[in-house]
Amino acid sequence: MLCTRDTIANDAPTRCSFDPDVEQYLKSTFRDSVQLEAILRSLPVPPSFTTLRLNSASYQAEVIKDLTLHFSGRYQITAHPLLEDVVVVSSGEGPQNSLPHKEDLPKVVVDVKCGKAVLRGADVFSPGVKGLPHLPAGSKVAVHIDIDRKCKRGEKNFSGRTVFVANGVTRMTRHDIFKMMVNTGVAVEIMERKIDVPCLNNTMEDRIFLQNLPSILTSHVLNPQPGEHILDMCSAPGGKTTHLAHLMGNRGSIIALEKVQNKVEKLRENIAKQNVACVSVLKCDSTQVFSESSTSVSIPPFGSGVFDRILLDPPCSALGQRPQLFNSSKLPEIIFYPSYQWGFVADAVKMLRPGGTLVYSTCTLPKEENEMIVARVLRTFPDMSLVPATPILGGPGVEVEGLSREQQQMVQRFTPNMDGDVNSDTIGFFIAKFLKSPMKLINS
C-alpha cells in the first residue's frame, strides 16, 4: 500500500528529518509545536503548484492556451490571481497510488539534488546518476534517491537505503556515463512520477521561466524602473536577474554578481535564453566589492551610493527548500550564516544611493537569518527604514526584539504548508524591503 500526500513512498520519511540540535534551534522561531510539525511534514513533498514566470504579462493568455494543449488538459493551468506575469500549473492529486515500486525493474540510483529535481518535474540528467547496472539504452528502470549519500559513483547494484521516486527509460548506458564521461543530456527519461507534477524540460524557454512563487515575488517587491542602475549581489541561476530586466523593459543596467564559475556559466545561459540585453555578469565575491575610496559604478570595487536598487538574496541555510526528505546540516553550520549574511548586508547599505531601495530575501526558516537581520539593519543604520514589502502574498514575520508588530506586518514570511493554496503551499521564504533616507541622518 502506497502513501497519501503526507509522504513520498512507504520507505520515505513522513516528515523532514533534521539533526536534533537543528530542530531545537527551529523551535525558537516556531514556538507553536503544531505549526513546526506541520512544516516538517510539508518539506518532503514539492508544492502542489508549479509557477511559471513570463517574460511579459502580455503572454499570459497565450501561454495558458499553449500549455493546456501541450499537456492535453491533464493539468489545470490558470493565471495567478494577483501577479500578471505568472501562470500557475496545478499538479495532480499528490502521490499516485497507481504507481507501484516495481521490484522487477533495474534500479538507477541518483544523488539527492537530482532526485529533488525529478520530484519537481525534471528528467534524470547524467551528472546526477550515481549507480546503475549494465543495460542497453531504452531499458525500463526505477529511479531511487540515495538519501544517505553512500552510493559510490559507478556502482552497479547498490544495496543501501534509497527512496523510490519514478519509473523511466534509459537514454544513456553505463559506458556513456562512467567511461565516456558524458556529463550533459538526459540519462533517464521519466515516464511516471511518484508525485504527479508537470515536466517542462525545453518547453517555451523563450517565453517562460520555471521559478518558485516567492522568488518571483521578490523582484516585484524591488520594483525596478526603466533606466535605473541595479545590483543583484548573488544572482545565479538568474531567475530574479532576468525578471528584473523584463520588469525594466530591458532599459537601464543590471550588474549581476556570482563568484562560482559553473554558476556564472548557468547565469549567462539563462540570460541568453531570456533574451536579456541590459545585464553585465561579473565573476566576483560579493563580500569584496565595496570600497569607501572608490567612485566606480560599473566594476568592483564599487563606491558609496552608486546603485538605485539592490537585490540581496545571500547564501543561507536553505532550510525552507522543498522537497527536502532529510537535512544533514549540523547546528554549527546553521548558526554560521547570520554573521556571514551581515557582511553582504552592510556593504549593500553603503552601496545604495540615498532614496534607494534594498530588498533582502532568503529561502530559509530561522529568525536569526531573517527578522533578526532586519532588526539589526534598523539598529545599525539610522538612515534605513523598513517599508511594506508589497505586493503582499505571504504572512507576517515572527516576533523578535527590535521589530514592532507593525514592522512584522511589513515583511513577508512564507511557511511551507502542503494543504494551502498557491500562495502558501510554497517553499519556505522571507522578504524584507528597506528604503534609504534621501538625506543622510547623523546619529547623535
Encode pLDDT of 155-173 as tens digits: 999 999 999 999 999 999 9
**If pLDDT is split at 50, 70 and 90, which confidence band does 2 have?**
very low
Burial bucket for residue 226 (CB in 10 Å: 0-12, 13-18, 19+): exposed
User: What mean pLDDT value characterizes the chain?
Assistant: 92
99's grid cell? 504507481
Confidence category of residue 195, pLDDT binned at 50, 70, 90: confident
Among 81, 10, 92, 3, which residue's Cα sits nearest to residue 46?
92
Q: What is the mean pLDDT of residues 390-402?
A: 97
pLDDT of residue 59: 86
Beta-bridge partners for 124: 188
- pLDDT beyond 80 at 352: yes
Per-residue pLDDT at 150 exceeds 70? yes
- For the stretch 249-292, pLDDT in tens is 999 999 999 999 999 999 999 999 999 999 999 999 999 999 99
* Identity of the amino acid at 65: K
Q: What percentage of residues in the chain have a pLDDT greater than 90? A: 82
**pLDDT tens, 84-113?**
999 999 976 544 444 556 668 999 999 999
Q: Tell whether omega for the bond before 301 is within 30 degrees of 0, i.e. cis.
A: yes
Residue 320 has pLDDT above 90, yes or no: yes
One-letter amino acid for residue 360 of the chain: Y
Question: What burial letters (b/e) apply to 333-344, b meaning 16+ CB within 10 Å?
Answer: ebbebbeebeeb
Do the Cβ atoms of 168 and 107 come closer than 8 Å? no
Q: Report how far residue 212's alpha carbon sits from residue 316's, in angstroms, rounded to the nearest whole number.
A: 16
Catalytic residues: 363
As beta bridge partners, residue 361 has 431
